[in-house]
């Protein structure tokens, strides 16, 4: 069945979902590209995930993004995975193909790396050890991207060590799992520090960390974008470290999704970034 209705539909599947700035970003691009359509937030609870995914084709969706808590859970309901989604064990973007089959891919690692490179043009993943905090779905994309970029040593700390060990065994020997109690000392000699946990996000507890052992030129980044500056980023900025927030990761994983859904790569403009920034409360 091929849809001939010119009204384009895409969305983001997650729960909760209303905090997401994806709809604002994608609807901006629909308007800029003079396309008739809508990108909608889809609040889908776990028990309805399969039904929601099966409904995408009959409803005429070109595809959707997938966010917390469905990035891993959606995999059994998809017909094919890209090599990157397979390697990460997580999906961030689904394409509804014309025959109704569902193709899952993951653009989070591309978005993460592009964000770091565009805000810090001299940054290199192979410049030295990297500490990554957290071992969930976000961390899988971050670690995959860092390894693709040539990272040689990723010190991975997670509250539950087993999850960090599982991530290391699926992604590669560059990842060195360490117990949570070694968080502060793991910063010794690192060139990049990444937080992928939900600690520091609006409504969540703060990440408790002592940056004394971190070199002042190490880049500190958080994949959280609400608030734009987490306590970790504030702490790093106050001692002179370069920082990058998580908004660019959201912005830069958008164009590859559009390429799959609509065959167009929209532009990440300053106007769009400012629009999103203005919509995020200061804290």
- Answer yes or no whether residue 165 interacts with ligand ATR by CB under 6 A: no
**Which CB, 62 or 65, lies closer to ligand ATR?**
65
- Answer yes or no whether residue 106 interacts with ligand ATR by CB under 6 A: no
Relative to beta strand 154-158, strand 175-179 is: parallel
Alpha carbon dihedral 232, 238, 243, 246, in 10-degree steps, equals 40
- Answer yes or no whether residue 182 interacts with ligand ATR by CB under 6 A: no
Relative to beta strand 80-81, strand 37-43 is: unpaired
- Answer yes or no whether residue 71 interacts with ligand ATR by CB under 6 A: yes
Q: In the annotation, is 71 catalytic?
A: yes
User: Site mask, ligand ATR, residues 210-249, x = CB under 6 A?
Assistant: ----------------------------------------
- Answer yes or no whether residue 135 interacts with ligand ATR by CB under 6 A: yes
In angstroms, rounded to a whole number, what is the distance separating the alpha carbons of residues 191 and 149? 14
Structure token digits, residue 18: 């209303």
Q: Quickly count: other Cβ atoms within 10 Å of residue 26's Cβ.
A: 24
Structure token digits, residue 93: 């973007």
Helix H or strand E segment including 10: strand 8-14
Among 14, 37, 89, 138, binds ligand ATR (CB under 6 A): 138
User: Site mask, ligand ATR, residues 40-69, x = CB under 6 A?
Assistant: ----------------------------x-
Q: Which residues bind ligand ATR (CB under 6 A)?
A: 68, 71, 134-139, 158-160, 163, 196-199, 205
């Amino acid at each position: 069945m091929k849809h001939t209705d010119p009204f384009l539909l895409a969305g983001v599947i997650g729960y909760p979902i209303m905090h997401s700035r994806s709809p604002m970003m994608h609807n901006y691009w629909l308007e800029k590209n003079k396309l008739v359509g809508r990108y909608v937030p889809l609040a889908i609870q776990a028990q309805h995930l399969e039904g929601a995914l099966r409904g995408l084709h009959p409803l005429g969706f070109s595809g959707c993004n997938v966010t917390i808590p469905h990035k891993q859970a959606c995999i059994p309901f998809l017909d094919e995975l890209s090599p990157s989604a397979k390697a990460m064990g997580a999906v961030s973007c689904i394409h509804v193909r014309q025959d109704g089959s569902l193709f899952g891919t993951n653009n989070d690692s591309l978005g993460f790396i592009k964000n770091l490179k565009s805000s810090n043009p001299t940054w290199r993943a192979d410049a030295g050890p990297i500490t990554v905090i957290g071992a969930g779905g976000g961390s899988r994309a971050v670690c995959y991207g860092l390894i693709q970029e040539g990272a040689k040593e990723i010190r991975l700390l997670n509250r539950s060590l087993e999850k960090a060990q599982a991530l290391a065994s699926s992604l590669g020997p560059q990842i060195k799992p360490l117990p949570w109690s070694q968080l502060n000392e793991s910063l010794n000699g690192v060139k990049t520090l990444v937080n992928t946990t939900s600690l520091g996000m609006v409504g969540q507890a703060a990440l408790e960390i002592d940056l004394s052992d971190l070199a002042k030129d190490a880049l500190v980044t958080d994949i959280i974008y609400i608030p734009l500056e987490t306590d970790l980023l504030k702490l790093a900025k106050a001692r002179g470290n370069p920082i990058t927030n998580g908004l660019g990761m959201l912005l830069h994983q958008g164009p590859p999704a559009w390429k799959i859904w609509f065959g167009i790569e929209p532009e990440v403009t300053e106007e769009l970034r400012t629009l999103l920034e203005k919509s995020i409360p200061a804290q």
